[in-house]
Amino acid sequence: MINRVWVQTIKVTMVACLSVMAPQEGQRQAAAAERTPASPELCDIQHGACTKEVADVTVTLDILPKPVKAMKDLKFQVTVSGAKRLRPAHIDLGMPGMDMGPNRVELRAVKDNLYEGEGVIVRCPSGRRTWKAVVVLPETGKVEFFFDVIS
Ligand SMILES: [Cu+2]
């Protein structure tokens, strides 16, 4: 009798685990699919730059050095193609769905269409690693990039 109850408990536990794991697996696959260039929602900043279009302007964000780690001095490079010379642009760093306080990277023009600034991505106490960089281009608009850092 005790054994039967025990087996039943294990079965219930396994079903519960599977039902929890299944959506996570789905999310992981969805996240992987989103990394394709067609829909770079979660961009793989660890292995290259991230590109998005806004108002016929192509905005590329790269963060160096790689791997991109929290609590390190980072260089943010923004390339803007098809836009006129910009007034001072900046990047607002934050985490999706979490207030991490203000964290702004001021960008300066290095050469035509290339802007650079320095900043630090802090370590999140929650352990989450997904960050959002909002590139703010005064004449053009805002472009949001999502990526994972190594904490
Ligand atoms: Cu956080």
pLDDT in tens, 132-143: 999 999 888 899
CATH number of the domain where residue 21 is located: 2.60.40.1930
Residue 37 has pLDDT above 70, yes or no: no
Q: Domain residues for 50? A: 4-148
Is 62 in contact with 73 (CB distance < 8 Å)?
Answer: no
Distance, CA 32 to ligand 1 centroid (Å)?
22
Distance, CA 121 to ligand 1 centroid (Å)?
10
Q: Structure pTM?
A: 0.72
CA-wise closest residue to 107 among 83, 128, 125: 83
Q: Which residue has the higher pLDDT, 5 or 98?
A: 98
Distance, CA 21 to ligand 1 centroid (Å)?
24
Distance, CA 131 to ligand 1 centroid (Å)?
8
Distance, CA 18 to ligand 1 centroid (Å)?
28
How many CA atoms, within 13 angstroms, populate the side-chain half-sphere of residue 6? 3
Number of domains in the chain: 1
pLDDT digits (tens, 9 = 90+) for 88-119: 899 999 999 999 999 999 999 998 889 999 99
